[in-house]
Every structure is written in C-alpha cells, then in structure tokens.
C-alpha cells in the first residue's frame, strides 16, 4: 500500500485547498440551506447510480455552490433502500480482501438503524462522490479506508435515518421527535410501524439535513461486533465475480509481449505464425509504460491469445536502457553507504567511538513482487465518443484520467466501474496507471483495425512477476554505541534504496531535502534514540512501488532485531528492555506488547526443547502490532510454530476483519523470510517468473496465529498493513536466540 501524509500541512497545494474548503464548510454548516435528494427513476426506493458529479470535476478551482453539501456527504450516492427493505450500501474504496465491503456498511447501518440481515454492498465508480473525504481523490491505500470514512459513513447513515423519520412523521402527521427507529423500521409510541422500504420513496424527496447527531459508542449494536463478511459466501463458494471475470457479448481478450528489459523497444516483429492461429483476430504493436514497446495479440479468448504470443518472433533493442544486475547493484549500494548523503535525523555522534559497547551491522533486503492471486486485468469498451472501463483499481479517478488521456477523450467521457479485486497489496495503484493505459492503447488500436468489440487485457502470472513495480531493494548499515545497561549513546545509520515517491503526485510533500519519507518510516520512533540517519536514493531502471506496509517492511526488521541484539548482549529480557524504552510516553505500544505477552504465555510456560521465543513490536499507519512467536530450526531451516499478536488499532469496527487482516499480513511477513522470496535481475532481466521460483508461504509453512485486540472506543486507525512489519523480526529474534547469530537479511540465510 501507499503511505499517506498524517497532517494537512503536508498535503500538496491542491489537496490543501480542498481540505480548507471542507473545513470551512463544516464550520459554517449551521448557516447553509438544506439540499434535496435527486429523484431517480427506476425503482420505488432510495436510489443510486446517477449521481451527477463526475470524478473528473475534482481539479482544484472547479466551482460548486456554497450552499451544497459535498458529493461525499450525499446519502443518495451511497444508500439504496428497496421496497422490501433491503439496504444496499455503495463503498468508496476498492475491496481486495481487506473487508471494507463489510466494514463500511456496518458503520453506515449502525447510524441508519438498519436490519443487518437486509444489508448488502456494492462498489462505486470514478464519481467524485467516492473520493476519500479527507484527501479529495479516489484512494484505497495507506490503511485509510475505515479510518478516513468512519465519520463520513456514520453521518451518511444518520442523514438517511433522519429523512426516513421525517417521512414517517409526515405520513402519520405526528411530531418527528416522538418517533424512533429500530432494525429497519420507524416506530410510533402507539405501536404503529413502517418499514424503511415503505418510506424510502417519500424520504428521498425531503431535504437532506446538514447536521445530525451521532450515536454514543456505548449504544453501538453493529459496530464492534465480530461480523461475517458480506462477500464471504460468494467467495467461499466460487460465485464471486472479480475484474478478471467481466464478460460482455463479443468480448475479445488481449495478451502482451513485454520487453525482457524494462523500457526496451522493438527492432523487428514477425507475427505471421501468430496470425495463423485459430481465434487470433489481430496483432498490434503498442507503446508501453516507461517508454517501452510491446506487441499485443488480440483473440476471442485467453488461450488463443497466449498461443499467438508464444508464436511471435521478436527482436528487441536493449542498447539504450540500463541493464540492472543484482550483484553489481549490491556492490554499488555498499559504496554509496560510505558516502555523505541526505540527512533525516542528525544527532550528535561524538559518543559513538567512546561507547563501552559497540555494534555494527549491515542488512540487505531484496526486491519483492506483489503477486496478488488475481493477475492484473482491465476491460475497455469504446464508442465514438465514450469509454467505459471495468477494473479493480485503488484509484478510480487517477486511472480514469489516464485512460481519457490515452484515448484522446475528455475526462467526463470516461466511466470507470470499480470491480472486486483478488488482492493487490499496492500494485493496483500506480502513478502511471500502466496496465490500464496498456488496455486502452490496445482497445484504441483494435478499434482502428476494425474490431469494434469490448476488449479485456489479461496478464499472466509470469507477466506479473516479471512486470515490474516491486518493493525496492534496500541496504541498511548501522553503527551503535551503548553502555552496560543498554542505554544507546549514539546510533549512526545509513539507508540506500530507490525512492518510490519520486515522480508521483506525492513527491512534492513526501520527498523533502532529498529523503523519501516512505523509506525512513518506522526508524527511531517510538524509542528515544540519539540517531543520525543518512539516506541515498539511487535511480535505476527497475520500476518500484509501495508494497504492503511500505517502508516498514524493512525498517521494522532493522530496528526490532538490533534492539533485541542489544538486549541479548547485556543479558536483559527483550520485553523488559522495550518496556523501559517506551517509558510512559507510548501507552498503546505498551498495551499491545503486554497483551501479546500475556496471551502467549511468554515467560510463564515451558517451551518444547529446541524452540525459542521471539518478540517484536511496531507502529505503522497509526496502529500498533506486537508479536510473540515460537520458532525452531529443523534441518537447517527456520520454522515458525506459533504467533500471538497484540493489536492496538483503537476501535475495531469489525474484530473479525481485524483478525483476518493480521493473519493475512503475518502470512506475507512470513513469506519475506522464506528461501526464494526475492526478485533478482541479471543483465537487466528479472530471473523469476512464477511461484516455482518466487516463494510465498504455503499452508505447510503456516504457524498457529492468535490475534488479540486491545479494547478501545477511540476512533479507528488503519489495519490493512500494520500486521506485517513485526512478524519477520520477531521470527528472526527467536532464531537468533537459538543459533546465537543475528539474522541480517531477508529472506533468512542461516549458513
């Protein structure tokens, strides 16, 4: 996922202006006249689907009436109540496994007083109504979905409920204050009842209240309850449709031959054998991401398109592009680490050489691929003056704008339908919209060739693994001086790795003084350490991107294994050592770690012979996760047996989703540790291609995982990513206790 700024002052100017307008609107809410719902045709209920504000009106400076509620505040875009009382909630995010298609409806249904058994959910579009309400753009990332839309969806539900109450009061000719709601019904003191489905049509004609009173958290009956996901039955039975499953009459499928080296162009194309394959409709030479070229084979199905691609005879020109080699890259990084660089922290290092105890360490982290279960895909349907797309995207507005540019259309001529996605972990939010633009270029070229049919671009697993946009490779070097009690006197640290934010919309406010904030997140804090942190961001011909938990994938490992090593060197318990460093300033860290310790039996139960405890705790995306693990070494390989997580994410809207997110994140964290879990390059070519040579954790690798949440009524924080960073260091710390040797790289290398 992507890192999101924590403070409004860090936003780019356009987003600052949007936020200022939002805040001004909230301050002046009492003076604004009410706005009525738009009456939609089609069903006798509160309807959706035709909200007039298009996502492409999101540019700064677009005029809108001062008296209007913002699109993100209008229930008409989010709530549909059918005559039978069924409530459909539209989500403003991509659902790709994190549970927002249940969590967001839970929030809205709570304030609506809906009957949860009648609640359904659906995905949105690139309409401006589905912007992140804080950042003013379409965004699923940075573990912000529940956190940023918590109040928004509560208010949407409360507004719709107020309108339903008003409609009932008018029908019964009573004071609205005498009425109450319960489980999808409006109740009168005399026992009369009206279902929401009976009132929806009348309610939609009423003014939308701008100010509403929200429930006291103690009165929640849906929020905070462990709830089975709305999409669970469809997914577990194989009936759930994803972007890859989009099917239109006459639809064609395209696959692309990408260059072996990023950005390479074609010397020659012999497509005669490909065109001769039954089902192949055409072969097209197209521009690709990063200045490269490719060849698209369009056919009436995936298999003939794939066979056609296999039959292509292509010669590539790689002379003009850099050919990255992993071994040479590591040597380059080691040289860079010795040189002066940009500074993030600049504490005094004079005590370092005089410290009674010293520790030096080098850490190496490889490129990592996202490898979501559902490979990348995008379906495009073109007419003479309009385009419609179906794609699982983390930023519908960004991708729709890129599609419009590629197709030569105006933004308002493009509609993007967000589809359920089978994973993503950041790969479905790319600044260049690479695979979406690729699909549009093919559709445009196919139309010019006389193929006027919907077209689906589909990447294979090999395309995905070799296709770029990886978690960057990083090198860390640390020199630490500390005393006999473990007090750190000086910590000199260097990080070398590509910037993932350079060249993106986020560069202006998250790359400061030459330092990409995503590369250093998780360094030093919450520990009171005198640190000098130097950063180098080399530029290489390998496309990089945020990967679930972003910089914390490597910074947490470095911080938590080094602190554990200090504790071991002075003979101190690693939990006690961390608690002392937290002091009284970090109660959420203390609570999460103590919960994991208590629930695991750490320090109280006897472990089987050959096993050891490992501990780590880390905050990312404003949530804290601590792990206490049990591990061993079998036949020279590390084995993780049990992991107990303590989680502090403030209010858990759906504890069951929090548990699932931590479990899934732990699997990814474990995958980073296993042999073969690295992307490497030789002469510019990625050496891995599928799960046979790029390892992910399998069922035989899985430990027992128990997840425990610290109770809280404070507004929720992010949970899609925080469960990943501390797993690997906790595992590594357990192995180090068994072997006596600290682990300095991922994947683990014991010999």
- 541-585 pLDDT, tens per residue? 999 999 999 999 999 999 999 999 999 999 999 999 999 999 999
Q: What is the pLDDT of residue 504?
A: 87
Residue with structure tokens 């978690």? Answer: 471
Supply the mean pLDDT for the chain: 92
Instruction: Give the model confidence (pLDDT) of 132-176 as tens digits.
Output: 999 999 999 999 999 999 999 999 999 999 999 999 999 999 999
Q: Are residues 583 and 482 in the same domain?
A: yes
State the DSSP string of 426-449.
TTT--TT-HHHHHHHHHHHHHHHT
* Among 13-22, 143-152, 473-482, the least confident range: 13-22
Which tens digit of pLDDT belongs to each residue from 418-432? 999 999 999 999 999
Does residue 330 fall inside a structural domain?
no
Residue 417 predicted with pLDDT over 60: yes
Residues 232 and 247 in one domain: no
Mean pLDDT across 322-336:
98
Percent over 70 (pLDDT), the chain: 91
Q: Is residue 744 a part of any domain in this protein?
A: no
Closest CA to 599 of 477, 708, 462: 708
The encoded tokens of residue 188 equal 């009168």
The overall pTM is greater than 0.85: yes
The answer to whether residues 596 and 697 belong to one domain is yes
328 domain-assigned: no
Whether the predicted pLDDT of 8 surpasses 50 = no
**For residue 67, what pLDDT is reported?**
53
Is pLDDT of 46 > 70? no
Q: For 466-518, give the DSSP string.
A: HS--BBPPEEEEEEEEE-TT--EEEEEEEEEE--SSTTSTTHHHHEETTEEHH
Q: Take residue 145 and report the two structure tokens written for it.
A: 């979905």
- For residue 382, the cross-strand partners are 387
Q: At residue 739, does pLDDT exceed 70?
A: yes
Q: What is the mean pLDDT of residues 680-692?
A: 98
Determine the average pLDDT of the residues in 193-208: 97
Do residue 253 and residue 158 come from a single domain? no
State the DSSP H helix or E strand holding residue 107, giving kind and residue range, or none if neither.
helix 100-112
In a shared domain, residues 581 and 632: yes
Distances (CA, A) of 246 to 230, 240, 377, 418, 454: 21, 11, 10, 11, 10
- Quick one: 57 and 80 in the same domain? yes
**Who's near 578: CB < 8 A, 6+ residues apart?**
563, 567, 589, 593, 615, 617
Residues 432 and 575 in one domain: no
SS3 content of the chain, % helix, strand, coil (to 5): 35, 25, 45
Do the domain assignments include residue 211? yes
Residue at 463 is within a domain: no
Give me the DSSP letters along 694-736: S----GGGPPEEEEEE----SPP---SSTTSTTHHHHHHHHHH
Last residue of a domain, one of 236, 266, 300: 236
CB of 272 within 8 A of CB of 220? no
Residue-range definition of the domain harbouring residue 314: 243-320+376-458
For residues 749 and 324, give the distance between their C-alpha atoms in angstroms, rounded to a whole number.
23
Same domain for 662 and 523 = yes
Per-residue confidence (pLDDT) for residue 62, from 0 to 100: 33
Last residue of a domain, one of 181, 213, 236: 236
The token pair that represents 481 in the structure block: 């001086």
Question: What CATH number is attached to the domain comprising 389?
Answer: 3.30.365.10
Evaluate whether 164 touches 82 at the Cβ level (below 8 Å).
no
What local confidence, expressed as pLDDT, does residue 32 receive?
28
- End position of a domain, from candidates 175, 203, 236: 236
Return the pLDDT at 751. 77
Query: Per residue in 303-333, is it b (16+ CB within 10 Å) or e — as a string?
Result: ebbbbbbebbebebebeebebbbbeebeebb
Residue 48: pLDDT band with limits 50, 70, 90: very low
CB neighbour class for 259 (10 Å; exposed up to 12, middle 13-18, buried from 19)? buried
Give pLDDT, residue 517. Answer: 97
* Pair 733, 642 in one domain: yes
**223 pLDDT band (50/70/90 cuts)?**
very high
Q: Are residues 400 and 305 in the same domain?
A: yes
Looking at the fold, whether 517 and 662 belong to one and the same domain comes out as: yes
| Residues in the chain, total | 751
Q: Do the domain assignments include residue 1?
A: no
The C-alpha atoms of residue 643 and residue 276 are separated, in whole angstroms, by: 55
Check residues 701 and 16 and name the one with the higher pLDDT: 701
Quick one: tokens of 576? Answer: 């006690």
Examine the domain organization and report whether 630 and 694 are in the same domain: yes
How confident is the model at residue 19, as a pLDDT?
39
Number of domains in the chain: 3
Give the integer Cα–Cα distance in Å for 700 and 149: 38
Query: Does residue 327 lie within any of the structural domains?
Result: no
């Amino acid at each position: 996922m992507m890192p999101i700024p924590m403070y409004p002052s860090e936003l780019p100017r356009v987003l600052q202006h949007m936020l200022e307008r939002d805040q001004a609107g909230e301050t002046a809410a009492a003076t604004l006249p009410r706005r009525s719902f738009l009456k939609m045709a089609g069903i006798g209920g509160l309807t959706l689907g035709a909200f007039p504000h298009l996502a492409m009106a999101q540019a700064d400076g677009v005029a809108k009436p001062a008296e209007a509620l913002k699109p993100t505040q209008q229930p008409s875009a989010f709530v549909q109540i059918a005559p039978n009382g069924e409530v459909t909630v539209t989500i403003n995010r991509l659902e790709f496994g994190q549970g927002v298609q249940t969590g967001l409806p839970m929030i809205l249904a709570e304030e609506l007083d809906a009957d949860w058994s009648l609640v359904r959910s659906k995905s949105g579009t690139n309409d401006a109504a589905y912007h992140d309400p804080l950042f003013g753009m379409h965004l699923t990332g940075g573990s912000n979905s529940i956190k940023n839309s918590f109040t928004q969806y509560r208010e949407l539900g409360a507004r719709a409920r107020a309108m339903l109450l008003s409609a009932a009061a008018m029908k019964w000719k009573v004071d609205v204050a005498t009425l109450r709601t319960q489980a999808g019904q409006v109740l009168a003191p005399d026992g009369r009842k009206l279902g929401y489905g009976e009132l929806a049509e009348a309610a939609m004609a009423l003014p939308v209240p701008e100010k509403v009173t929200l429930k006291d958290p103690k009165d929640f009956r849906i929020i905070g309850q462990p709830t089975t996901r709305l999409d669970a039955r469809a997914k577990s039975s194989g009936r759930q449709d994803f972007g890859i499953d989009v099917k239109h009459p006459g639809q064609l499928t395209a696959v692309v031959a990408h260059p072996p080296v990023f950005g390479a162009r074609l010397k020659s194309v012999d497509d005669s054998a490909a065109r001769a394959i039954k089902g192949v409709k055409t072969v097209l030479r197209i521009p690709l991401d990063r200045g490269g070229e490719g060849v698209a084979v369009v056919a009436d199905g995936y298999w003939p398109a794939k066979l056609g691609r296999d039959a292509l005879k292509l010669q590539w020109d790689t002379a003009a592009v850099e050919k990255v080699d992993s071994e040479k890259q590591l040597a380059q990084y080691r040289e860079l680490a010795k040189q002066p660089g940009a500074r993030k922290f600049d504490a005094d290092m004079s005590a370092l050489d005089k410290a009674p105890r010293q520790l030096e360490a080098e850490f190496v982290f490889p490129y990592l691929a996202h490898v979501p279960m559902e490979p990348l895909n995008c379906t495009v349907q073109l007419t003479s003056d309009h385009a419609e797309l179906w794609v699982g995207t983390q930023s519908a507005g960004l991708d729709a704008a890129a599609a419009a540019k590629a197709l030569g259309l105006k933004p308002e001529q493009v509609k993007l339908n967000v589809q359920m996605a089978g994973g993503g972990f950041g790969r479905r939010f790319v600044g260049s919209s690479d695979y979406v633009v690729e699909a549009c270029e093919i559709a445009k070229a196919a139309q010019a060739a006389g193929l006027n049919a919907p077209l689906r671009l589909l990447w294979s697993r090999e395309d995905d693994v070799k296709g770029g946009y990886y978690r960057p490779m990083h090198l860390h070097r640390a020199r630490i001086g500390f005393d006999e009690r473990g007090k750190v006197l000086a910590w000199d640290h260097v990080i070398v790795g590509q910037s993932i934010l350079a060249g993106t919309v986020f560069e202006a406010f998250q790359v400061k003084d030459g330092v990409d904030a995503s590369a250093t997140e998780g360094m030093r804090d919450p520990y009171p350490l005198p640190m000098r942190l130097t950063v180098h961001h080399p530029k290489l011909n390998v496309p990089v991107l945020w990967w679930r938990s972003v910089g914390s994938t490597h910074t947490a490992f470095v911080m938590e294994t080094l602190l554990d090593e200090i504790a071991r060197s002075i003979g101190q318990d690693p939990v006690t050592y961390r608690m002392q460093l937290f002091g009284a300033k970090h109660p959420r860290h203390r609570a999460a770690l103590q919960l994991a310790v208590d629930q695991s039996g750490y320090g109280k139960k006897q472990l089987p012979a050959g096993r050891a405890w490992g501990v780590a705790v880390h905050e990312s995306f404003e949530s804290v996760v601590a792990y206490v693990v049990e591990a061993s070494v079998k036949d020279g390989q590390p084995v993780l047996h049990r992991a107990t997580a303590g989680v502090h994410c403030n209010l858990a809207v759906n504890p069951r989703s929090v548990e699932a997110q931590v479990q899934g994140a732990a699997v990814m964290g474990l995958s980073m540790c296993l042999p073969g879990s690295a992307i490497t390059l030789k002469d510019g070519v990625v050496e891995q291609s599928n799960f046979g040579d790029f390892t992910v954790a399998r069922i035989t690798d899985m430990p027992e995982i128990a997840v425990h949440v610290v109770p809280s009524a404070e507004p929720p924080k992010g949970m899609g990513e925080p469960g990943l960073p501390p797993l690997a260091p906790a595992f590594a710390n357990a192995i180090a206790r068994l072997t006596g040797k600290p682990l300095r790289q991922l994947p683990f290398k014991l010999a």
